């Protein structure tokens, strides 16, 4: 009887323990910690460098006589009335700085302002032969082209498409030389100053992801604290207007009066390079 009582008590304890265990909360692994992936934004300052290719179009050098004698010389084709002036060449290094603001991170409109300068260093020399074996030479040069422009674009995450336009300036060099039939320089004129105008165009830009193998070569960006590096390509049409150059006689016998050569500077430039972006991802 005593043994049966002990066994019965033990069974009751086991049953009570099992019921209590069933009431305890189950042990579960803690939920994984969620770390949101940063959404890329184009907002921030940037600076960068580029190379370029420039080519002119619709440029013309128009010559006129300022007195009856020189007007007659132009009409008789002793010196040319018009000279087609075309230039092209691969530019040297350029650089720029700017700021973008993106309204909604990820995808959305982007506005900004940009200032840059390109060492174009394009030059061309032209020669003509007149009806009385008189000749003329012309030289047109654009040393550099700078712009200050506004930008409006749309970002598709790390891909940006934009249009741009604004103020342009550049250093030009214009020269006109007229030679008599003996090959002696009889008239000469030159203008070498900065001209201003406008430029407009558009471009594309792509921000390299931080896990891209291309970022392994981004040593400078890490040193200067850049948050991203972007690749860019841009097309611009520029127009620096026209300028009249006085071509005066050099007191050579039978060379009287003067001429005017009017030069135009306009063309296109294609730029490719990269920017260092500073700002939050």
Note the pLDDT tens digit of each residue in 2-57: 545 544 554 454 455 545 545 545 556 566 654 555 688 999 999 999 999 999 87
**Nearest to residue 94, comparing CAs of 242, 251, 209, 236?**
236
Q: What is the pLDDT of residue 206?
A: 95
Q: What is the pLDDT of residue 10?
A: 46
Look-up of token digits 């009066």? 257
Q: What is the pLDDT of residue 224?
A: 59
- And the tokens for 107? 């995808």
Q: What is the pLDDT of residue 51?
A: 94
Q: Which residue has the higher pLDDT, 200 or 211?
A: 200
φ, ψ at 20 (rounded to 5°): -65, -40
Integer Cα distance of 275 and 206 in angstroms: 10
Rg of the chain over CA atoms, in angstroms? 37
pTM: 0.81
Q: How do residues 118-170 score in pLDDT, each as one tens digit?
A: 999 899 999 999 999 999 999 999 999 999 999 999 999 999 999 999 999 99
21 DSSP 8-state letter: H
In sequence order, the β-bridge partners of residue 236 are: 201, 269
37 DSSP 8-state letter: P
* Residues sharing a CB contact under 8 Å with residue 170, sequence separation 6 or more, in sequence order: 120, 142, 143, 144, 145, 146, 194, 195, 238, 240, 265
Integer Cα distance of 52 and 239 in angstroms: 17
Q: What is the chain's mean pLDDT, rounded?
A: 86
């Amino acid at each position: 009887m005593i043994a049966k009582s002990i066994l019965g008590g033990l069974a009751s304890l086991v049953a009570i323990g099992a019921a209590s265990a069933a009431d305890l909360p189950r042990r579960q692994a803690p939920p994984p910690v969620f770390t949101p992936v940063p959404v890329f934004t184009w907002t921030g300052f940037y600076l960068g460098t580029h190379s370029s290719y420039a080519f002119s179009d619709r440029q013309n050098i128009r010559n006129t006589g300022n007195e009856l004698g020189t007007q007659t010389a132009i009409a008789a084709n002793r010196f040319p009335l018009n000279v087609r002036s075309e230039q092209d060449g691969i530019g040297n290094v350029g650089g720029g700085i700017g700021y973008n603001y993106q309204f909604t991170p990820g995808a959305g409109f982007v506005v900004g302002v940009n200032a840059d300068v390109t060492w174009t260093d394009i030059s061309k020399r032209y020669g003509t032969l007149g009806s009385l074996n008189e000749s003329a030479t012309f030289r047109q040069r654009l040393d550099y082209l700078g712009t200050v422009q506004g930008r409006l674009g749309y970002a598709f995450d790390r891909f940006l498409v934009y249009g741009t336009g604004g103020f342009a300036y550049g250093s030009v060099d214009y020269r006109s030389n007229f030679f008599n039939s003996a090959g002696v320089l009889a008239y000469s004129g030159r203008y070498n100053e900065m001209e201003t105008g406008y430029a407009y165009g558009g471009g594309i830009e792509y921000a390299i992801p931080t896990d891209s193998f291309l970022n392994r070569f981004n040593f400078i960006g890490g040193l200067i604290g850049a948050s991203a590096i972007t690749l860019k390509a841009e097309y611009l049409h520029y127009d620096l207007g026209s300028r009249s150059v006085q071509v005066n006689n050099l007191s050579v016998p039978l060379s009287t009066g003067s001429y005017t050569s009017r030069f135009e500077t306009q063309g296109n430039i294609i730029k490719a390079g990269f920017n260092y972006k500073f700002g939050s991802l």
